[in-house]
A = this chain, B = another copy of it.
């Protein structure tokens, strides 16, 4: 057992040498001739510190190259200023839009984004969420409303604000910002029926939300005595190639298909290319309907009909919902459960 000399550390750390690696708040305090807590205040609540003192502290900070340690700060305050955004991947532009918007909004409010890419399996998400919670984020934004029980419980017990996105659910973990995928399917069905298509095919990714849209579509079609004549479910993540390949398979098996309902604009775009290659006029001979739309559908050739959803809007709303919970702004109000809506965008002649 050695002698207890707390001052010893101070002397060691601050010895006249260069500030080799990291200056601490205590170092800054000593340089400025004030107590550590004063430096802390100068940093976090400058209005509580006399301008004179403030100046001394700031000089010391400059000179020492001090960088705040949020690990220590977060531990002491139980506030990490971290918000985690969890989604399957960032390759899909609608997710990229979501993180981008969430990040912008959160950064502006002094938070940082802990990125969690979960893939499409809930057990992966479960592992990820556990790791994420160990960082004590101040909020979590999830994609979708389908999670393991364990994920739901852990998040609920954590007591931090949680937003589920891109979908609706009667039993949210906490807050929800999304829309009904079944309803999207129904809307597409309405459009298909109205246009009089009969030979309907689905080109879709292996993804739960896409499945819900297919479901909504098929149920609504059935009510009108229509059914889907072929379905192609692609594994992995959507690419133009997959869209082409899937379309080729569909058309090879059923040359008389008159409309392809794709689960994403990327697949739909692939379908357009395949159609062009085969010399099938779109939409006269073969109509193609997409989903997603990054102001995209109207600009490819030929233009697509698509269901337009706005990842930026969802990301922004989700971030604002979290922020509103963290420090409530009297003026602002965000519905805990919000339907951001979707929009069926038709090309002139589809």
Contacts and interface: CB of A to CB of B under 8 A. Distances in A.
Nearest to A99: B90
B296 A240 contact: yes
A91 B96 contact: yes
Top 5 A-B residue pairs of the complex, sorted by shortest distance between their CB atoms = A240-B299, A68-B134, A113-B115, A115-B115, A71-B75
A22 to B, nearest CB: 8
Interface stretch (A7-15, A125-133, A139-147): A125-133
Nearest to A239: B295
Interface string A210-231: 0000000000000000000000
A78 B68 CA distance: 14
Contacts of A241: 295, 299
A4 interface: no
A137 to B, nearest CB: 10
Interface of A: 21, 65, 67-72, 74-75, 80, 82, 85, 89-91, 93, 96-97, 99-100, 103-104, 107, 112-117, 128, 130-136, 154, 157-159, 239-241, 244, 270, 272-273, 276, 295-296, 299-301
A65 B74 CA distance: 21
A120 to B, nearest CB: 14
A71 B75 CA distance: 6
Contacts of A299: 240-241, 244, 270, 273
Contacts of A104: 117
Contacts of A65: 154, 157
A274 to B, nearest CB: 10
Contact of A113 (B21, B80, B114): B114
A85 B21 CA distance: 22
Given A71-B135, A74-B71, A276-B301, A21 B159 contact: yes
Contacts of A72: 75
